Structure 1
């Protein structure tokens, strides 16, 4: 292992958690957890996963016609489902749009500590 990489791997868990808490959810999920084993371990810190909020990404692309497609809904589901499966105990708030009944059912079954659920523009059935 290269010496500069070893220095990152030797940061304390508290320090790593502090660094990860300053990253966006996207950066946490798409890169930080892949740096090394100690970063992946710190990534599992419950305090980092109490809120799953995709709303800022919708605000950026509000005018896009892609938001109403079935493919887009599938993408949202594919983002929400692994988060719920891996951090379900810690989730207290979810803010999302255009997800399916299947995803909402998973949230209902797996997130016992959820206190707030914001689902905008979802066609939710009675199921």
Structure 2
């Protein structure tokens, strides 16, 4: 700021915390709190933790971030679960966006997040172990305000997810994987409040007239790159019950 103007540390707490909510989690934990007392207080405000995007950082124990965090906070052994709990607790239940890393997230982490972040509107799920998939629908329905659900790939037990979620997916669902036409139609029929669906680069369906009729009322239906088969796949029968993941 110009000389004689208002100083950053003199800004109102709500204004500072709103600015800090746009920062990445490494800045919010290792930079901002150590500038001055007012910034420390603003960084401790739950509003600064409304967006919990864990996909911007490398949480492997040998990563630069993990080493810096452990040194700065005198932690003997860094873990993603510990960092997740720190961030969720700082949010005090006001977080509206949660993007989990594609790996490292355990079922215990998801349960903790479901209890600590009840107001989520956006949820990006990690890659899940088969044993954990059956538990996810019961967690997702706890987020009553959920509007956007992103999945790295279609769950192996997708029919169970469809039946359990029903009206939960209100705004959008992202899925890139093996997605047979009958399962896509089931989503379009079963998720009655869905208004956008991204199913790009999927294998198992083409956007034919039957699919387009079911998707007609959606505000957004993205299906570019989806096809019945590609160079890595044999021709897929619509009744084939094999579940493969198509990497996007």
Identify the residue that residue 202 of structure 2 maps to in structure 1. Answer: none
Q: Number of residues paired by the alignment?
A: 109
| Higher-Rg member (1/2) | 2
Identify the residue that residue 115 of structure 1 maps to in structure 2. Answer: 121
Match runs of 1:6-85 below 5 Å: 10-13=9-12, 16-17=16-17, 20-21=20-21, 23-57=23-57, 75-85=79-89
Matches of 1:27 and 1:8 in 2, distance apart? 20
Mapped pair 1:92 → 2:83: no
The CA deviation at 1:21 is 4.6
Matches of 2:28 and 2:54 in 1, distance apart? 13
Q: Give deviations 1:4-48, integer Å, cap 9, x for gaps.
A: xxx968422256346535543211211211222211111134442
Within the candidate set 93, 102, 118, 2:108 is matched to 102
Distance change >3 Å, CA 19–CA 117, structure 1 → 2: closer
Distance change >3 Å, CA 106–CA 19, structure 1 → 2: closer
Distance change >3 Å, CA 83–CA 18, structure 1 → 2: closer
Matches of 2:111 and 2:56 in 1, distance apart? 24
**Contact 1:9–1:37, Cα closer than 8 Å, also in 2:** no
Q: Which has the higher contact order (CA 8 A, sep 6+)?
A: 1
Matches of 1:47 and 1:16 in 2, distance apart? 10
List alignment gaps of at least 5 residues for structure 2: 1-5, 63-77, 136-248
Q: Larger helix proportion, structure 1 or 2?
A: 1
- Using the size of structure 2 for normalisation, the TM-score is 0.37
Supply the RMSD in Å over aligned alpha carbons: 3.1
SS at match of 2:98: strand
List alignment gaps of at least 5 residues for structure 1: 1-6, 67-73
The CA deviation at 1:89 is 1.5
Identify the residue that residue 71 of structure 1 maps to in structure 2. Answer: none
The CA deviation at 1:80 is 0.9
46-55 or 7-16, which deviates more: 7-16
- Using the size of structure 1 for normalisation, the TM-score is 0.66
